[in-house]
Amino acid sequence: MIRIVAPTDFSDTSRNAVSYAISMATDLPSAELILFNSYESIALGSDGTPLHSDPGTGKNLTMIALENLKNELVGDRNVNVQLLAEEGSLSANLEKLTSEKQVDMVIMGMNGATRMEQIMIGSSTLKMVSLLSCPVLIIPPDASYSRIRTTVYASDMKNVKETTPVNQLRKILSFFRPKLYVANVDVEHYVEISEEYKKEKADMNALLDGFEPDYAFIRLYDFTEAINQFAIDRGADMIITVPRRHNFLERVFSTSHTEKLAYHTHIPLLAIHE
């Protein structure tokens, strides 16, 4: 079974991500999908006046909104969807939920329509990428679900035995059984890869035994552009990255790289921590 959480704030961005999550869950017979919202217990009017004081009102209204969203997007499809609403901050609630429910994947949207949306929505999603221990699938605003047939795993091919999140990676790949490419970008690559890279490739092959990956060693300076174009050329349905909490996360998910990999690509991006 795969357990997926799709947080929603009922915006167009999160609605698209929820739609994607529902389609994915429908495609996976053993999937369990949780639609989740964090809410404030007391809603305020435009002048700051409380609209209600009953502690249960916020949760009741949220559950009604979640039910409406579910009914609208699920339709007559046979999919296991649960609804959950909790008071408090999204980050705290989502961290608790993913731990207690042993969640396999969180699916969230990102929007690049305006600079303000990039800052507000993007920062929230990237915060979840750095905070949560489970994989986070980032859905671009123009992405619609298609079966995960081809996946590009972007790796720096450094100390792969120690840095590859092999258990989570193999688990995700086992759900979809896609054609897998392992792509590495290094300005120093030439026709023949170095002995160091050959060793790392052999180690990666051992870690991914059974998935039969093909490899691409790309000699380009711009990591983000190279990975994105490679994924487009291969018709990839998902890109997988391993953001490291200090150096790699800052490099891959800096503002400029995020705009290329998440804000300006139609390919969903899965972040799995080492």
Query: Between the CA of residue 178 and those of 30, 101, 213, what are the distances in Å?
Result: 17, 26, 10
Structure tokens at 159: 């100390």
Q: Residue 27 and residue 146: Cα distance in Å, rounded? A: 9
Do residues 22 and 77 make contact, with C-beta atoms less than 8 angstroms apart? yes
Domains along the chain?
2-139 (3.40.50.620), 150-271 (3.40.50.620)
* pLDDT of 161: 95
Structure tokens at 16: 């698209």
pLDDT in tens, 166-219: 999 999 999 999 999 999 988 778 778 889 999 999 999 999 999 999 999 998
Structure tokens at 96: 């608790």
pLDDT in tens, 29-76: 889 999 999 987 655 555 555 555 566 778 899 999 999 999 999 999
pLDDT in tens, 106-156: 999 986 544 444 444 446 777 788 788 899 999 988 889 999 999 999 998
Do residues 130 and 245 make contact, with C-beta atoms less than 8 angstroms apart? yes
